[in-house]
Amino acid sequence: IVELKDTVSLMTSDSYIERFIAEYAQTKIRYNKLHNIIVKYDANTLDFQLSCPIEVLKMQKTAMGNYLNQLEIRAEIEHIDLSCVKFLI
């Protein structure tokens, strides 16, 4: 499983494609973590107290999902292969 720290070399690359892949991977990692928190909250199994309303987190997840979609569309247009990221996350 890829973690944020694993994307540093891609994020600092001279290649815009590698930076793009890092941006996608970082957003996907954060999205998945937020999704897991929301699922656990809804299932009443979250092991900590939220510091903001769940509705705010759900709106953030929606915005992140829309952003991921836009990145995926751009990747398709620019022929950037994101399959390695989708496989690792």
67-89 pLDDT, tens digit per residue, is 999 999 999 999 999 988 866 66
pLDDT of amino acid 6: 87
Q: Which of 25, 37, 87 is nearest to 61 (CA)?
A: 37
Percent of the chain residues topping a pLDDT of 90: 80
Give the 3-state secondary structure of residue 88.
Answer: helix
Q: Which position has the higher pLDDT, 87 or 29? A: 29
56-70 pLDDT, tens digit per residue, is 999 999 999 999 999
